[in-house]
């Protein structure tokens, strides 16, 4: 029966496909398709892994001391029995044979189905056996690691939507449904097989949502219990524009969304024609449209979108998911240099590492011990707490600056003392390189304005920095005391709150007055409903995901900044700015 789930719209477009449920703890399991002629060897790989676990458990059983607790002996028996469980083994085979899933993916898919059956059991003893099943599967996954046939990884081409039929099992797009995905998990899916994402948790500007947007595929976050309500293999429509997930759609609904999807494709094609058009307003103002990237390879998307530079390289993604082995100077230098080379002489703004809060380095280091991670050791605070790590990054960035135009951007500053320490460390990084005789280049130095205290101390900031970049995602979070990653307060996360607009407007105005560069690199810059207001407030530089550049250019080309300036002042003076905002198309 058709039903819908409401969440937050984070990445545009419509995706229609079958649900793949992934437990958050298992997103790092490889997901890829095998070729039909590899089915037998994949099943063999799985059999070997299972036999290995059986051997291991039997050995454990044999070596068990005579006086071992009875429960432990019984537990090993249960585990051995579960390994032979027909539902598990035959189910996993089916995913491999019929869907061409790799063994790990097949195992976790079947595990999701069995886990649900356990959850529904009345008997508490049997319900608890779910944990045993998971432990057994974990052991098999462990044995599969290292024997993966990832080399054969193939992205399965999605069949055109109009050919979709309910009941099809092969060659249909897949959509990922999970309780939660960390930003690093999302990044793993960059080259993935999934046509869309749904998560139970997350706010509109949570980093998970931001990465989903950068993937440019439809996504809904904050869909509460979606991962409970959607079953493995259900047909699902993700409406990334409305923030709605429709489960088990009727053929009429399916046809309706298929139509919307094609409309969206046409709209994209129309926008693609603007790629080489300069972003100039009707009254002749030149507007700089820059790209936000997470990885050096993203520069390709930036160039393809017609961005005139990178306004924000979120360098922290180089640091994530590495079990604490942070990248060294040379590795970072190579990565920054690849970004600089990728932009062919256009400027690249590299932001120093901003981990913490909803961007843990990896799951193990997710510091739940801090009561308020968003107010804790994050971004520049984290860097200043570990000067040798920070110096490594600064040297790598300065070295990359020898190969092209590089701006160095510092996140989350609030205090004069932090500014001075940062500048001293940049000087020290230069001296280190001088001493080693290593080449480096000049950088423009910028600060992010993302804490209200910073927006209220502009004179201090402009004394030290060449340019400012307004991080509206955090500026809104900290001005309104709304956790940007918490869907339960997402309705209060308001870019049009008069206080937020005042801080943004004053920052732009003060930079313009002092002849310093200013841009917005938070999600507000890529929001078409905000473009005219920001232009009216005097903003001339916007940095956003590559996928949003053309839509924003479309707005710019139709805008007259002289007229917008008068209206923007009215919006700024209003107690209810939202009531003065026109609908944008």
C-alpha separations of 87 from 84, 93, 233, 309, 403 in Å: 9, 10, 17, 54, 58
Q: Which is nearer to Mg ion, 242 or 377 (CB)?
A: 377
Q: Which is nearer to Mg ion, 53 or 476 (CB)?
A: 476
- Do 474 and 452 form a contact (C-beta atoms < 8 A)? no
**Least distance to ligand PEP, CB of residue 239, Å:** 24
- Do 484 and 208 form a contact (C-beta atoms < 8 A)? no
Catalytic residue (one of 79, 403, 521, 554): 521
Of 64-72, 338-346, 471-479, 570-578, the window that binds Mg ion (rule: CB under 5 A) is 471-479
Instruction: Tell me phi and psi for residue 524, to 5 degrees.
Output: -55, -35
C-alpha separations of 343 from 286, 296, 313, 365 in Å: 20, 10, 12, 33
Residue 337 found at the interface with ligand PEP (CB under 6 A) = no
Secondary structure of 307-348 as H, E, C letters? CCCEEEEEHHHHCCCCCCCCCCHHHHHHHHHHHHHHCCCCCE
Q: How many CB atoms lie within 10 A of CB 573?
A: 12
Residue 474 found at the interface with ligand PEP (CB under 6 A) = yes
Find the binding residues for ligand PEP in span 283-312 (CB under 6 A): 312
**Least distance to ligand PEP, CB of residue 42, Å:** 39
Q: How many CB atoms lie within 10 A of CB 122?
A: 6
**Least distance to ligand PEP, CB of residue 544, Å:** 10
Instruction: Kindly state the helix (H) or strand (E) to which residue 388 belongs, with its residue range.
Output: helix 387-400
Angle between helix axes 103-119 and 124-144 (nearest 10 degrees) is 170
C-alpha separations of 462 from 78, 475, 500 in Å: 67, 18, 20
Q: Which is nearer to ligand PEP, 111 or 187 (CB)?
A: 187
Residue 109 found at the interface with ligand PEP (CB under 6 A) = no
* Site track for ligand PEP across 245-264, x = CB under 6 A: --------------------
Residue of 42, 185, 474, 486 that binds Mg ion (CB under 5 A): 474
**Least distance to ligand PEP, CB of residue 410, Å:** 12
Question: Is 511 designated active site?
Answer: no
521 binds, among Mg ion, ligand PEP, none (CB under 5 to 8 A by kind): ligand PEP
Residue 521 found at the interface with ligand PEP (CB under 6 A) = yes
**Least distance to ligand PEP, CB of residue 44, Å:** 45
- Do 305 and 546 form a contact (C-beta atoms < 8 A)? yes
- Do 186 and 206 form a contact (C-beta atoms < 8 A)? no
180 binds, among ligand PEP, Mg ion, none (CB under 5 to 8 A by kind): none
Q: Which residue is nearest to Mg ion (CB)?
A: 474
Residue 418 found at the interface with Mg ion (CB under 5 A) = no
Alpha helices in 10-123 (DSSP H): 39-62, 70-83, 86-99, 103-119
Residue of 450, 486, 487, 527 that binds ligand PEP (CB under 6 A): 450
Of 155-163, 228-236, 468-476, 576-584, the window that binds ligand PEP (rule: CB under 6 A) is 468-476
Residue 471 found at the interface with Mg ion (CB under 5 A) = yes
Of 363-371, 400-408, 420-428, 473-481, the window that binds Mg ion (rule: CB under 5 A) is 473-481
**Least distance to ligand PEP, CB of residue 292, Å:** 7
Residue of 12, 26, 139, 314 that binds ligand PEP (CB under 6 A): 314
**Least distance to ligand PEP, CB of residue 15, Å:** 24
Residue 104 found at the interface with ligand PEP (CB under 6 A) = no
Find the binding residues for ligand PEP in span 193-232 (CB under 6 A): 210
Cα–Cα dist 15/579, whole Å:
32
**CA-wise closest residue to 359 among 253, 190, 195, 474:** 474
Of 381-389, 442-450, 479-487, 564-572, the window that binds Mg ion (rule: CB under 5 A) is 442-450
139 binds, among ligand PEP, Mg ion, none (CB under 5 to 8 A by kind): none
322 CB-side CA count, 13 A: 10
Question: Is 207 designated active site?
Answer: yes
Residue 358 found at the interface with Mg ion (CB under 5 A) = no
Find the binding residues for Mg ion in span 32-71 (CB under 5 A): none
**CA-wise closest residue to 408 among 442, 361, 378:** 442
Burial class (CB in 10 A: 0-12, 13-18, 19+), 429: buried
- Do 325 and 375 form a contact (C-beta atoms < 8 A)? no
Of 133-141, 278-286, 295-303, 465-473, the window that binds ligand PEP (rule: CB under 6 A) is 465-473
Which residue matches tokens 């105005």? 509
Catalytic residue (one of 207, 403, 545, 554): 207
Q: Which is nearer to Mg ion, 474 or 487 (CB)?
A: 474
Size of interface with Mg ion, in residues (CB under 5 A): 3
**Least distance to ligand PEP, CB of residue 581, Å:** 20
**CA-wise closest residue to 358 among 340, 346, 350, 370:** 370
**Least distance to ligand PEP, CB of residue 184, Å:** 14
Residue 354 found at the interface with ligand PEP (CB under 6 A) = yes
**Least distance to ligand PEP, CB of residue 552, Å:** 15
Residue of 473, 479, 531, 555 that binds ligand PEP (CB under 6 A): 473
Cα–Cα dist 555/527, whole Å:
10
**Least distance to ligand PEP, CB of residue 483, Å:** 13
Q: How many CB atoms lie within 10 A of CB 161?
A: 21
* DSSP string over 11-25: E-SEEEEEEEE--GG
133 binds, among Mg ion, ligand PEP, none (CB under 5 to 8 A by kind): none
Size of interface with ligand PEP, in residues (CB under 6 A): 11
* Three-class DSSP category at 280: strand
Residue 450 found at the interface with Mg ion (CB under 5 A) = yes
- Do 339 and 310 form a contact (C-beta atoms < 8 A)? yes
C-alpha separations of 244 from 193, 237, 326, 485 in Å: 21, 8, 38, 18
* Site track for Mg ion across 292-321, x = CB under 5 A: ------------------------------
* DSSP string over 185-244: HHHHTTT-SEEEEEESS--TTSHHHHHHHHHTS-EEE--TTHHHHS-TT-EEEEETTTTE
**Active-site residue set:** 207, 521
Name the site residues for Mg ion (rule: CB under 5 A). 450, 471, 474
Under the rule (CB under 6 A), what is the footprint of ligand PEP? 210, 312, 314, 354, 450, 471-474, 521-522
């Amino acid at each position: 029966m058709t039903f819908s789930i409401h969440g937050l719209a984070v990445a545009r477009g419509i995706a229609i496909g079958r649900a793949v449920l992934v437990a958050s703890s298992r997103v790092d399991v490889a997901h890829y398709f095998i070729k039909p002629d590899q089915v037998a060897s994949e099943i063999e790989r799985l059999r070997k892994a299972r036999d290995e676990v059986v051997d291991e458990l039997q050995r454990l059983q044999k070596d068990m001391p005579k006086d071992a607790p009875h429960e432990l002996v019984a537990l090993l028996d249960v585990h051995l029995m579960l390994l032979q469980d027909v539902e598990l083994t035959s189910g996993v085979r089916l995913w491999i044979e019929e869907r061409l899933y790799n063994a790990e993916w097949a195992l976790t898919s079947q595990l999701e189905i069995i886990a649900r059956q356990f959850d529904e059991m009345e008997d508490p003893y049997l319900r608890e056996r779910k944990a045993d099943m998971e432990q057994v599967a974990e052991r098999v996954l462990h044995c599969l690691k290292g024997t993966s046939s990832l080399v054969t990884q193939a992205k399965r081409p999605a069949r055109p939507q109009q050919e979709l039929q309910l009941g099809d099992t092969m060659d249909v797009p897949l959509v990922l449904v999970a309780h939660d995905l960390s930003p690093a998990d999302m990044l793993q899916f960059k080259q993935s097989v999934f046509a869309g994402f749904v998560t139970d948790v997350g706010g509109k500007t949570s980093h998970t949502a931001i990465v989903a947007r950068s993937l440019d595929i439809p996504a809904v976050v904050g869909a509460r219990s979606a991962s409970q309500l959607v079953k493995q293999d259900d047909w699902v429509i993700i409406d990334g524009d409305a923030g709605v997930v429709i489960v088990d759609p009727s053929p009429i609904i399916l046809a309706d969304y298929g139509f919307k999807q094609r409309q969206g494709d046409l709209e994209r094609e129309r926008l693609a024609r603007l790629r080489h058009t300069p972003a100039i307003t009707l009254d002749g103002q030149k507007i700089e449209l820059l790209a936000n990237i997470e990885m050096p390879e993203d520069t390709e998307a930036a160039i393809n979108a017609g961005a005139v530079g990178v306004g924000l390289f979120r360098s922290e993604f180089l640091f994530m998911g590495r079990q604490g082995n942070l990248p060294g100077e040379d590795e970072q230098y190579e990565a920054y240099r690849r970004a600089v080379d990728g932009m062919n002489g256009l400027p690249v703004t590299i932001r120093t590492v901003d981990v913490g809060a909803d961007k843990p380095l990896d799951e193990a280091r997710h510091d739940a011990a801090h009561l308020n991670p968003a107010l804790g050791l994050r971004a520049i605070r984290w860097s200043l707490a570990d000067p040798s790590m920070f110096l490594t990054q600064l040297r790598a960035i300065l070295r990359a600056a020898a190969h092209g135009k590089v701006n160095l951007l510092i996140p989350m500053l609030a205090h004069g003392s932090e500014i001075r320490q940062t500048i001293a460390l940049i000087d020290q990084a230069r001296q280190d390189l001088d001493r080693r005789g290593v080449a480096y280049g000049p950088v423009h130095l910028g600060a992010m304005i993302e804490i209200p205290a910073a927006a209220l101390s502009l004179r201090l900031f402009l004394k030290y920095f060449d340019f400012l970049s307004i991080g509206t995602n955090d500026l809104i979070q900290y001005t309104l005391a709304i956790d940007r990653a918490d869907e339960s307060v997402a309705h209060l996360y308001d870019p049009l709150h008069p206080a937020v607009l005042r801080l943004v407007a004053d920052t732009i105005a003060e930079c313009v007055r002092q002849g310093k560069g200013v841009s917005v690199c938070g999600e507000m810059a890529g929001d078409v409903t905000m473009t005219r207001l920001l232009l009216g407030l005097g903003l001339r530089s916007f940095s956003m995901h590559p996928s949003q550049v053309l839509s924003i250019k479309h707005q710019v080309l139709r805008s007259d900044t002289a007229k917008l300036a008068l209206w923007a002042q009215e919006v700024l003076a209003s107690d209810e700015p939202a009531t003065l905002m026109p609908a944008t198309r």
